[in-house]
Structure 1
Amino acid sequence: MTRIEFYVLPDSTTAGRTRAACQLAAKGWQHGLPVFIRCQDESQCAEMDDLLWGFRAERFIPHELFDEDPQAPVVIGLEQAPAIGQGLLINLAPTLSPHTDGFSRVIEIVNQQPELLTVCRENFRLYRQRGYDPKRVEL
Structure 2
Amino acid sequence: MKVYICLIVALALAAPAFGKVLDRCSLAREMSRLSVPRDQLARWACIAEHESSYRTDVVGPTNSNGSNDYGLFQINDYYWCQPASGRFSYNQCHIGCNGLLTDNIEPIVRCAQEVLRMQGWSAWSTWHFCDGALPSIDDCF
TM-score when scaled to structure 1?
Answer: 0.20
Larger RCO (alpha carbons 8 Å, 6+ apart):
1
Which structure's CA Rg is the greater one?
2
TM-score when scaled to structure 2?
Answer: 0.20
